[in-house]
Structure 1
């Protein structure tokens, strides 16, 4: 299995991890612990597997978030609940959300058990934690027992493993966290600029300054779109991201991955149709390409 095919598989399954950040059940469980506000819940629940870290570690591993947004959450969250409690609450919320969206029959099905086994096989084929700090935190967590949670945990491991490699690719291309976010939105196939600024905590002035610098560097034009050079840089980043994440997918082979997609994509579509994602989250060409 080549890296491009592996990248397509990873992107096809992305929502089956990323719903975690928007599911009401997850927010409710985190709120029961005393965590307040979307920023604190997101930051604390995502970084919790790394332990009681400070804002610098979270900013570094998340990469494209404004430091001030991280500082709202940490270390304040750890004064409310221990990282282990936060992570356990997140898993409880995922359990409830998947059960509601997919239904008891799917959760208890042989197909879910099979998908969990396939996804776990891919995730267990990840070659190691070298340079993958956020993935390493999740890899230290115990595997759940319920098949649907095994499935979710496996996809989360694969997501964070790929994400750590993506950060390395961005750094290799000389793109800061905000550079990466602005060029991502300029591509028209990912986040909208409005959502990215609000969700990642950047001010309009910071965004405009970065656009000016990228325009001077020839990566975006006056309309805020990628130039030819900008498109080439983003393609190189995505190609390298795929290359750095291909290992576990290639280890299990195309047939197993195709079977996993056959099982899981309908569940992804069910969740997508349920509307957990915020409105106006994506740009006008979302889904057209990488």
Structure 2
């Protein structure tokens, strides 16, 4: 299995999972249970498979959120709704959102085939040192093909995400430093959204940036790259050393995430890439939220 192919397929599948963090159907399902704020809904729906865990566990497994922000939501959300109820609400939201976004494709042979291929890939995933993946893997597989596809893609995303945290820690980056270097690539979240949604103040961001500059990872003096990969105006870009570190982080992540793709095999992986492409494209309107993403990046979960 070519690691580059595996990384590309993970990126292609990502929107099919992460649309759940942007669709209104989640709020429609969780608000009646008393979980009304977007932030609380995010923490609740993603951590619910782990049970009624405390803020320390959520901050550790989500990694790039300010622990103080997490503590303002967890464990309060569990006083509003039991984790099992949140899991069920999330699945109902995924059902409604996929029916809306995929439209006629939701009952297509492509969805069924993609779901079958993803499930085969998941048979090659392991849970060692992957707490978020392991928690989600304990959930039963939905019967309806489009929900089986979503569940399987979610497992693959959390499997890779847990590996990504290992790579970030191995690179010596804290949660906020991971976020700063990620936004400095000019891909993914905008700086303003990253600070707001992850709970980091401009002062904390500035301090983290200063430390990364001292390590030679960020350009000093606000020097910026040009072109499609340029960071936002007024924010430092990565140095060559920083670019190399981010590349090694992605390579490390991919190396630790090859199990599912090796299990699926080259032929199955190529077929999944083919059938998933139009499905991933169909859900992209869910990410059309102004001020959230830098150009060219609908991927919500990397850091």
Pick the aligned partner of 1:152 from 147, 150, 153.
150
1:169 matched to 2:167: yes
Q: Deviations over 1:22-61 (max 9, x none)?
A: 1111121011211020110000110000001000000000
CA distance in 2, matches of 1:276, 1:11: 15
Residues in 1 aligned to 2:47 and 2:271: alpha-carbon distance in whole angstroms:
31
Q: Is 1:279 paired with 2:290?
A: yes
| Residue equivalent to 2:227 | none
**How far apart, CA to CA, are the structure 2 residues paired with 1:266 and 1:75?**
39
Query: What aligned pairs does 1:129-208 form with structure 2 within 5 A after superposition?
Result: 129-208=127-206
Structure 1: gaps (5+ residues): none
Moved more, 5-14 or 262-271: 262-271
Shift of 1:112: 1.4
Q: Distance in 2 between matches of 1:63 and 1:252?
A: 29
Name the structure 1 match of 2:252. Answer: 240
Mapped partners of 2:145, 2:192: distance in 1? 37
Using structure 1 for the length normalisation, give the TM-score.
0.95
CA positional deviation for 1:282:
2.1
Deviation at 1:283, TM superposition (A): 2.4
SS of residue matched to 1:175: coil
Structural mapping, 1:26-175, within 5 Å: 26-103=26-103, 105-126=104-125, 128-175=126-173
Q: CA deviation at 1:275?
A: 4.1
Residue 258 of structure 1 is matched in structure 2 by 270
Separation of aligned partners in 2, 1:166 and 1:201: 21
**Separation in structure 2 between the aligned mates of residue 209 and residue 135 of structure 1, nearest angstrom:** 32
Q: Are the equivalent residues in 1 in contact too, given 2:110–2:276 (CA < 8 A)?
A: no
Partner of 2:218 in structure 1? 220
- Tell me the CA shift for residue 286 of structure 1: 3.9
Q: In 2, distance between residues paired with 1:77 and 1:278?
A: 25
Normalised by the length of structure 2, the TM-score is: 0.91
Are the equivalent residues in 2 in contact too, given 1:55–1:74 (CA < 8 A)? yes
1:211–1:201 Cα change, 3 Å: same
Q: Distance in 1 between matches of 2:187 and 2:51?
A: 34
2:9 matched to which residue of 1?
A: 9
Q: Where does the alignment leave 5 or more consecutive residues of structure 2 unmatched?
A: 223-235
Aligned-residue CA RMSD in angstroms?
A: 1.4
TM-superposed CA distance for 1:280, in Å, is 2.2
Deviation (angstroms), 1:277: 4.0
Q: For residues 189 and 118 of structure 1, what CA distance do their matches in structure 2 show?
A: 29
